[in-house]
Amino acid sequence: MSDTIKPEDLEKSLMDYLENYVEDIEEDVENTANTVVKEAKQELVQTSPKSGIARKTKYYKGWAIKTGGRTRKRKYYSKVIWNKTNYQLTHLLENGHHTRDGTGWVEAQPHIGKVQEKYGTQFADLLEKKIRRSSK
């Protein structure tokens, strides 16, 4: 038995197909984002500076994942990796800073930019593969 659509049912059939396609893509985005952000967080924990920080809480242990949400007009999905314990240090460590007395310069210890670049391209590649696979 073949799938035939009457001309008066074409619009409804197309809308149903497109709604299902959008739901599949949204699910692929969420799944891909969740896996990539977990891997990126683990790499940040491993590559973050572990010494020289005079704090009670360790900088490298403070990485956490925050979930975005919804605006009034539309739904979006976002994940953010941030340092919940020592968020003030991320910019200073990544870019370097003046010493406390202002006479010297503390060299940068880049660790965030590398992870961001690596997992940004990985996210795009994985998502493209999933979308191509689901559209066939």
Q: What is the mean pLDDT of the chain?
A: 87
Q: Reduced to 3 states, what is the DSSP secondary structure of residue 75?
A: strand
Who wins on pLDDT, 48 or 136? 48
Q: What is the mean pLDDT of residues 1-16?
A: 81
Q: What is the mean pLDDT of residues 104-122?
A: 94
Q: Reduced to 3 states, what is the DSSP secondary structure of residue 77?
A: coil
| Count of helices and strands (H, E) across the chain | 3, 4
Give, as one character, the DSSP assignment of residue 107. P
Q: How confident is the model at residue 50 (pLDDT cuts 50, 70, 90)?
A: confident
pLDDT digits (tens, 9 = 90+) for 21-42: 888 888 898 999 999 999 999 9
User: Angle formed by the axes of helices 10-47 and 112-135, to 10°?
Assistant: 150
- Of the candidates 105, 107, 104, 110, the one whose C-alpha atom is nearest the C-alpha of residue 90 is 110
Domain residue spans of the chain: 8-135
Residue with token string 């020289």:
52
